[in-house]
């Protein structure tokens, strides 16, 4: 029997889905991710496989996991996993293989539509009995005809491109890895052109040493004043103060954000005072359907390791 442990910050339903799709020959222990390091160490002492959501684990825990062979993330991001420690200890680490890409792509587009159509203000005005105020009809916009700039066109960015094409848009993208697994109609451009030409800049890169702080005041200054930013990736791709300043001063028109430098967002965060942002609580990757895909992918990858094959979608 191969033992797997799931450190879960999710609902019991997620653990149930993982248990239901578990192949024969495995046993699964579920443990809250909020538990202490000592408790985590005790739980993974005998485990060969570790499944994580959220993807957050450090050296102190890993170095005590003597039998651990593979860490399977249910997330796309891997920025809070100590990859160097895992590598040194001979453990592989794999992401969710794009299994939540449908959910994230849909939420990126939902955030954009919400901003352009001012849906939050519309809902508030109906409930408050002010009818259309402050939505005037000249401060709502169409996606049609706009240039969509994608930073990253992997599993998620590619799906955003495919879907937004149907909105009669022009797609441009910048991707260092030219990882165009999804077939879509778009033009590869330099980072500078991406910033200068995009009406909508949507971020779909993992947080790595290369992408951290990629956009500061200098980059934001290159953008059109009518441009909006959609971020369902990681907040740290932006310099926090520079983004807040660009939004506050209307240097750019708005942002739809699912990710923040501090989560949960603090009650005094400057973003909360702005009316040109739509904010969601890091839920873009979540959907009922995606949990089943993630669970199936996780077990298939774990079975590959048992069979002596390399796992797919390694974090790099």
Return the residue nearest ligand GLV (CB atom). Answer: 77
Residue 203 CA to residue 237 CA, distance in Å, equals 8
**Applying CB under 6 A, does 235 fall inside the site for ligand GLV?**
no
CB of 179 to ligand GLV, least distance (A): 16
Q: Does 75 bind ligand GLV (CB under 6 A)?
A: yes
Q: Which of 70, 118, 234, 294 is catalytic?
A: 234
Binding region for ligand GLV (CB under 6 A) out of 14-22, 60-68, 75-83, 299-307: 75-83
**Buried-state track 196-229, b at ≥16 Cβ within 10 A, e below 16:** ebbbbbbbbbbbbeebeebbeeebbebbeeebbb
DSSP state letter for 230: E
Does 105 sit near ligand GLV (CB under 6 A)?
A: no
Integer Cα distance of 55 and 74 in angstroms? 7
| Phi then psi dihedrals of residue 295, to 5 deg | -65, -45
CB proximity list for 54: less than 8 A, separation 6 or greater: 9, 33, 75, 80
The residue annotated as part of the active site, out of 170, 282, 286, 304, is: 282
| 99 scored as a contact of ligand GLV (CB under 6 A) | no
Q: Rounded to whole angstroms, how far apart are CA atoms 310 and 246?
A: 44
Asked if 285 interacts with ligand GLV (CB under 6 A), we say yes
Tell me whether the omega of the peptide bond preceding residue 176 falls within 30 degrees of 0, making it cis.
no
DSSP strand pairing (170-174 vs 187-188): parallel
Taking the least distance from each CB to ligand GLV, the nearer of 75 and 211 is 75
29 is annotated as an active-site residue: no
Q: Distance (Å, rounded) from C-alpha 286 to C-alpha 107?
A: 9
* Residue 231 touching ligand GLV (CB under 6 A): no
Residue closer to ligand GLV by CB (options 77, 254) is 77
Q: How far is CA 252 from the centre of its chain?
A: 22
- Residue 282 designated active-site: yes
Among 4, 52, 65, 76, binds ligand GLV (CB under 6 A): 76
Q: Which stretch binds ligand GLV (CB under 6 A): 33-41, 74-82, 207-215, 261-269?
A: 74-82
263 noted as active-site residue? yes
> Residue 229 pairs with which residues in a beta bridge?
201, 255
CB 241 within 8 A of CB 247: no
State in angstroms the smallest separation of the CB of 207 from ligand GLV.
Answer: 9
Q: How far is the CB of 258 from ligand GLV (least distance, A)?
A: 8
Q: Count of residues binding ligand GLV (CB under 6 A)?
A: 5
Binding span for ligand GLV by CB under 6 A among 24-32, 73-81, 160-168, 196-204: 73-81
Q: Which residues contact 241 (CB under 8 A, 6 or more apart)?
A: none
DSSP, residue by residue, 125-163 = HHHHT-TTTT--SSS---STTPEEEEE--SHHHHHHHHH
- Please tell me the distance from the alpha carbon of residue 80 to that of residue 311, in angstroms, as a whole number: 20
53 versus 146: smaller Cβ distance to ligand GLV: 53
Residue from 142, 210, 263, 309 carrying the catalytic annotation: 263
Please pick, from the candidates 8, 99, 100, 147, the single residue that binds ligand GLV as defined by CB under 6 A. Answer: 100
- Active-site positions read 234, 263, 282
Binding site for ligand GLV (CB under 6 A): 75-77, 100, 285
């Amino acid at each position: 029997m191969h033992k797997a442990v799931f450190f879960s910050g999710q609902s019991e339903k997620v653990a149930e889905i993982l248990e239901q799709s578990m192949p024969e020959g495995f046993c699964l222990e579920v443990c809250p991710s909020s538990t202490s390091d000592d408790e985590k160490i005790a739980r993974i002492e005998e485990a060969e496989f570790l499944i994580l959501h959220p993807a957050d684990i450090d050296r102190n825990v890993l170095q005590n996991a003597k039998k651990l062979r593979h860490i399977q993330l249910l997330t796309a991001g891997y920025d809070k996993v100590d990859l160097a420690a895992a590598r040194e200890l001979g453990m592989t680490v794999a992401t969710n293989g794009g299994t939540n890409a449908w959910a994230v792509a849909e939420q990126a587009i939902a955030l954009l539509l919400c901003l352009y159509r001012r849906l939050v203000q519309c809902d508030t005005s109906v409930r408050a009995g002010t009818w259309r105020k402050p939505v005037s009809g000249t401060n709502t916009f169409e996606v049609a005809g706009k240039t969509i700039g994608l930073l990253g066109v992997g599993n998620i960015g590619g799906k955003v491109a495919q879907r937004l094409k149907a909105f009669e848009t022009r797609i441009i993208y910048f991707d260092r890895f030219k990882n165009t697994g999804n077939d879509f109609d778009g033009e590869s451009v330099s980072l500078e052109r991406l910033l200068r030409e995009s009406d909508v800049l949507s971020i779909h890169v993992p947080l790595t040493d290369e992408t951290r702080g990629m956009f500061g005041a200098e980059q934001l200054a290159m953008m059109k004043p009518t441009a909006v930013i959609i971020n369902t990736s990681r907040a740290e791709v932006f310099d926090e103060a520079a983004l807040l300043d660009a939004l506050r001063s209307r240097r750019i028109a708005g942002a739809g954000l699912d990710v923040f430098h501090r989560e949960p967002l603090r009650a005094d965060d400057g973003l909360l005072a702005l009316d040109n942002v739509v904010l969601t609580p890091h839920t873009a990757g979540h959907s009922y359907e995606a949990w089943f895909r993630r669970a199936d992918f996780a077990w298939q990858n774990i079975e590959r390791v048992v069979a002596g094959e390399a796992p797919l979608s390694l974090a790099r």
